Amino acid sequence: MENKLVVSSSPHLHCGVNTREIMLDVLIALSPAAAASALLFGWRAAAVIIVCVASCMASEYISRIVLKKPQTVGDLSAVVTGVLLAFNLPATIPLWQAAIGGVVAIVVVKQMFGGIGHNFVNPALIGRIVLMASFPEDMNRWAAPLQGSLVVDGLTSATPLESLEQGGELAYSYQQLLVGIRPGCLGETCIIALLLGGLYLVVRRVISPLIPAVFVGTVFILTWLLGENPLVHILSGGLMLGAVFMATDYATSPINPAGKAVFAAGCGLLTVLIRVYGSLPEGVSFAIVIMNVLVPLIERATRPLPFGEERRLPKWLKR
Amino acid sequence: MTAADYKKTFMNGLLKENPILRLVLGTCPTLAITTAAINGLGMGAATTFVLVCSNIVISLLRRVIPDKVRLPAFIVVIAGFTTIVQMLVKAYLPAIDNALGIYLPLITVNCIILGRAEAFASRNSVGLSAMDGLGMGAGFTAALTLMGGIRELLGNGTLFGFPEGGVIPPITIFVLPAGGFFVFGMLIWLTDRLAERLDANAPKDKPAGCAACPNSAICQSAVPEGPAGSDNQEIRLETSSAGKGGGLS
């Protein structure tokens, strides 16, 4: 009897889901958008995705060996980071630059801070931002979709948000925006594929729909209030990709529903501020990264009350 | 004073107590001006001049300056030499003056100089203090030039203004502030490893807190728990602001 009573700390029950399975679900959810990007932008899109994934996996593998830590490349989180990074790059980007983005994402943002679960911001987004700051010309050359294999030296044109920023007319119909027939980053254009993936993740209970819903809703309401076309703002840029796949990253988003709502609303607010008032046409990546950094504060402010305790209000709120 | 003492004092500033990479003093000019190697060299030379001169003068005056007002006295000496440097650079190297901008007059409040005045020159002979200034200045210049070189080469594709031949495409982020912080952190890590490897007597268990600071041997505020008196407290506060210099100045 004595030996059967084991005293240990919680959790005592495990549902059996592990990191690898969750990451596999995310990869399945990403596959429609990946297929759409290959259809829209040709073999070049597939090449960018493969290079990013390979660079991320190699970075993860090598840095775990150099750091003398248990190998984690098998949990597939590096693959997810690689795919997300590729989704945030234009199809015309030189492949060695895409590889640098993968190294920055995994080595600098993830492994230097302790590996999976310890990254303080989304690795793929920092990879994109570093590339944007390093190679602004290559990162802003948008290939027009559906040119077959001519992407690299073919037609280039402004993204919908860029033409709006310059005060131009929107040259794309809502149907085109939904299907993704517009210039833009690899994975962000096909809204239907992204929504399909998001639906899968929600059904599989990998993510809660709260963050994407509040994020997109905030952008919709704010752009509508500011007199912009809210539908265009929702259907263009990286909003759907960011809301479904980037802002929902476990390590860099709050745990509680209240915290999630605050976080997502902040993402939406910053996105609209950058898009409407900022000098950049698109601000989803910066909005998410800034809110990532604020997550510890949001968690502190939204800590749930233990049963039977009274909420301690700050002095200036008490009367 | 033997020659060995001088050599040891000089070498101290190069690696073991490198003001930038080991003591992490004077980080503000370090991050701001190291977008090009030549800026680092110019800033290093100007600071070395002020450091050596102020160390000599403060060492000469160390028995004259009353303890209570020593910090203002040090600053007056340092500011005097900084003004001389500023006028000289403005007259003879206007390009450097342009590149360094506000950071040239700000040498006055560079905490390396005040830190060395407080920690070394005010309690050592003139010769040793001059040597300390030279060593610290050389360490500062080397660190700044190295950092500027790396950032210029990777971020702009040039070194001391000469193009490197188009092998490395410029990665703009290295000349932006974010790249500065990144290169700075990497260099601190590398020198830490290097100093550890060169120092055979390094203890296996690294000390934590105040004792881990390379300056702890000469820093008054590192002395553990004195008697708690208000007078004592005041002195400790003063020395800690001077000895450690406080990060970003």
Indicate the range of A217-221, A252-256, B241-245 predicted with least confidence: B241-245
Smallest Cα distance from B26 to chain A, Å: 25
From residue A68, alpha-carbon distances to A61, A79, A112, B68, B105 in Å are: 11, 21, 13, 52, 47
- Residues of chain A in contact with residue B169, where contact means CB-CB under 8 angstroms, are 135
A135/B172 touch (CB, cutoff 8 Å), yes or no: yes
pLDDT-derived band at B238 (thresholds 50, 70, 90) equals very low
Whether the pLDDT of residue B219 is over 70: the answer is no
The burial of A28, by beta-carbon neighbours within 10 Å (0-12 exposed, 13-18 middle, 19 or more buried), is given as middle
- Range with the largest mean pLDDT of A140-144, A197-201, B151-155: A197-201
CB A156 within 8 A of CB A44: no
> Sign of the C-alpha dihedral, residues A145, A54, A133, A270?
positive
Residue-level pLDDT at B11:
86
Q: Of A232, A190, A216, A186, whose CA–CA distance to A288 is shortest?
A: A216
Mean pLDDT taken over chain A: 88
Whether the pLDDT of residue A144 is over 80: the answer is no
> A246-275 pLDDT, tens per residue?
999 999 999 999 999 999 999 999 999 999
- Residues of chain A in contact with residue B182, where contact means CB-CB under 8 angstroms, are 108
pLDDT-derived band at B193 (thresholds 50, 70, 90) equals confident
Residue B85, amino acid:
V
Q: What angle do CA A280, A118, A256 make, to 5 degrees?
A: 80
Scanning A46-75 for CB atoms below 8 A from B yields none
B171 part of contact set with chain A, CB < 8 Å: yes
A135 part of contact set with chain B, CB < 8 Å: yes
- The whole-angstrom separation of Cα A33 and Cα A200 is 13
Instruction: Report pTM.
Output: 0.82
B172 part of contact set with chain A, CB < 8 Å: yes
- Residues of chain A in contact with residue B178, where contact means CB-CB under 8 angstroms, are 130, 133
B172/A134 touch (CB, cutoff 8 Å), yes or no: yes
Cβ-Cβ contacts under 8 Å between A and B: the total is: 16
A242 vs A43, residue with greater confidence: A242
Query: What percent of chain B is modeled with pLDDT above 90?
Result: 43
Indicate the range of A135-144, A246-255, A309-318, B218-227 predicted with least confidence: B218-227
Residue-level pLDDT at A268:
95
Whether the pLDDT of residue A288 is over 70: the answer is yes
B178 part of contact set with chain A, CB < 8 Å: yes
pLDDT-derived band at A204 (thresholds 50, 70, 90) equals very high
A108 part of contact set with chain B, CB < 8 Å: yes
Whether the pLDDT of residue B108 is over 80: the answer is yes
Which long-range CB contacts under 8 A does A202-206 form with residues at least 24 apart? A204/A25, A206/A22, A206/A25, A206/A26, A206/A29
Residue-level pLDDT at A36:
92
B188 part of contact set with chain A, CB < 8 Å: no
Smallest Cα distance from B158 to chain A, Å: 16
A134/B171 touch (CB, cutoff 8 Å), yes or no: yes
Going from N- to C-terminal start, the domains of chain A cover: 19-300
A134/B182 touch (CB, cutoff 8 Å), yes or no: no
Whether the pLDDT of residue A136 is over 60: the answer is yes
CB B212 within 8 A of CB B188: no
Whether the pLDDT of residue B140 is over 50: the answer is yes
Mean pLDDT, rounded, for A60-82: 93
Query: What percent of chain A is modeled with pLDDT above 90?
Result: 55
Smallest Cα distance from A41 to chain B, Å: 26
Whether the pLDDT of residue B230 is over 80: the answer is no
A113 part of contact set with chain B, CB < 8 Å: no
A107 part of contact set with chain B, CB < 8 Å: no
A134/B178 touch (CB, cutoff 8 Å), yes or no: no
Q: What is the DSSP letter of A225?
A: H
CATH architecture of A19-300: Orthogonal Bundle (1.10)
A5 vs A204, residue with greater confidence: A204
Q: Which of A100, A133, A135 sits opposite B176 (nearest CB)?
A: A133
Residue-level pLDDT at A267:
96
B205 vs A28, residue with greater confidence: A28
Whether the pLDDT of residue B243 is over 50: the answer is no
Mean pLDDT, rounded, for A182-189: 87
Q: Of A127, A43, A38, A32, whose CA–CA distance to A78 is shortest?
A: A127
- The whole-angstrom separation of Cα B48 and Cα B10 is 13
Indicate the range of A135-139, A140-144, A281-285 predicted with least confidence: A140-144
Q: Which of A100, A108, A136 sits opposite B172 (nearest CB)?
A: A136
- Range with the largest mean pLDDT of B125-134, B165-174, B230-239: B125-134
- The structure tokens listed for B210 are 């105040």
Sequence-separated (6 or more) residues with CB below 8 Å from residue B95:
none
The burial of B127, by beta-carbon neighbours within 10 Å (0-12 exposed, 13-18 middle, 19 or more buried), is given as middle
- The structure tokens listed for A61 are 């593998």
Indicate the range of A89-103, A190-204, A281-295, A298-312 predicted with least confidence: A298-312
Residue-level pLDDT at A124:
94
- Residues of chain B in contact with residue A130, where contact means CB-CB under 8 angstroms, are 173, 178
pLDDT-derived band at A223 (thresholds 50, 70, 90) equals very high
Q: What is the DSSP letter of A247?
A: T
A258 part of contact set with chain B, CB < 8 Å: no
